[in-house]
Structure 1
Amino acid sequence: MARSCEIVLALLVAAAMASPLALAYDPSPLQDFCVADKASDVFVNGHVCKDPAQVTAGDFAFSGLQNAGDTANAFGSKVTLVNVGAVPGLNSLGVSMARLDLAPGGLNPPHTHPLATEVLTIVDGEMYVGFLATDGTLFARVLSKGDVFVFPKGLVHFEFNFGARPAVGIAGLSSQNPGLIRVADSLFGASPAINDEVLAKAFRIDAATVQRIKAQFATKK
């Protein structure tokens, strides 16, 4: 009996110690929906819920993904993001999506989504896509219509269209607001600017080269 009591006590202690870890995760929704109230000036981790009596079907809808994005830019790419900013009804649901358009030779530059894993499906054309693991290993392949590729949360990844016709992809992301950090933009186009010496040493180039690169990104703003 004494042995059994010891085992039960050990299990209770283990469960108590595990509880704070479980509470560290985002809680599941506790109601049918929590539509974002964009008029509220209350700051929370996410968005304040709109009064349910004021919610309409339009809070859960978005129109426009059937339209090609404008790729007439330096990268030849356009991302149309459908996050909580576009669909208030996504608030607290932990998902969003995006359309990616790439012109021939177009690139969605190396970037990360700090808050989300991404699943990309090619709906037209071909893309060369890939991501970098934390040890520097590149996982990449060419995708055709109907192919799917996963970019793990927070890892640097890219999409490139080497074909002769436009390519289109639809992505699902595991956050209502996945976030976006473009690697080159964040380093060479930061405001205020990162010290030239820091970038020169990091990239093993001279300060004059850093300044020339910074000038390229300054023209994109």
Structure 2
Amino acid sequence: MAFTTSKHEFCFVLVLAFTTFHMVTAGDADITSNFAVPPNVPFVDGNFFTYTAMRALVGAARPTTFKISKVSMVEFPALTGQSVSFAVLQFPAGSMNSLHTHPRSAELLFLLTGTLEVGFVDTTNKLITQTLQVGDVFVFPKGLVHYQFNRDANNSATAISAFGSANAGIVSVPTTVFTSGIDAGILAKSFNTDVSTIRAIKAGLAPKA
């Protein structure tokens, strides 16, 4: 059975979730060489500094759900120690990249196609929002809770995000709060609600069979 909730309950969860996070502000460590080579790489040439997996996006069918294609040091080891990474964000009509943070970097988003509603909440609990058009660039400050939403019900959107870290990290607000195993009673007290409501939210976020 699909989980449904009222608009009031949904807003209640989102607003209160913003206040539960103290963000980490650590960055990448400096390296003392030109670049870092993993122990399992015996020889370095141009191939080591080239990442080709993004070729799969060229000419591919548009995804039916939100899709992020990352290029961090995890996927591309040559980025280790270089304090840079990026991602391609694909938004089908009506989809979103839900509330999350990047604990080790700011995010600089460039909108390639479509329109996007974006927003973040600062440490004074002020919500900053904007509707981006093609060619616009928006910065999400380091460690702050933010989102991107394609409100257009008919057209997709595509963006590229750059990060000042080889591994910016991502912390999903809904997943971290409600699916990480925190006791339902603790969450109920934290959100000033009852355990049954927390369990209903947990059920709604559980992986679909």
Secondary structure of 1:215's partner?
helix
RMSD: 2.2
Q: Which 4+ runs in 1 deviate beyond 6 A?
A: none
* Structure with the higher fraction of residues in helix conformation: 1
**Correspondence list, 1:137-176, <5 A:** 137-163=126-152, 164-176=154-166
Match of 1:216, SS state, is helix
| Equivalent of residue 76 in structure 2, options 70, 87, 97 | 87
Structure 1 length normalisation: TM-score?
A: 0.75
What percent of counterpart residues are identical?
35
2:204 maps to 216
Match of 1:32 in 2: 34
- Give, as a single letter, the amino acid of the residue that structure 2 aligns with 1:154: G
The worse-fitting range, judged by mean Cα deviation, of 57-66 and 91-100 is: 57-66
* Structure 1 runs not aligned, ≥5 long: 1-23, 40-49
Deviations 1:83-118 (A, max 9, x none): 011111101111100000011110100000111111
TM-score (norm 2): 0.79
> Alpha carbons of 1:175 and 1:212: their partners in 2 closer, same or farther (altered >3 Å)?
same
Q: How does 1:110-129 map to 2 (within 5 A)?
A: 110-129=99-118
Which of residues 162, 169, 172 is equivalent to 1:182? 172
**1:58 aligned counterpart, secondary structure:** coil
Deviations 1:133-155 (A, max 9, x none): 01110111000111000011111
Task: Say which one has the larger Rg.
Answer: 1
Q: Is the 8 A contact 1:35 1:90 kept in 2?
A: no
Q: Is the 8 A contact 1:90 1:96 kept in 2?
A: yes
Whether contact under 8 Å (2:27, 2:105) holds in the other structure is no
Q: How many residues are matched? A: 180
Answer 1 or 2: higher relative contact order, Cα 8 Å, separation at least 6: 2
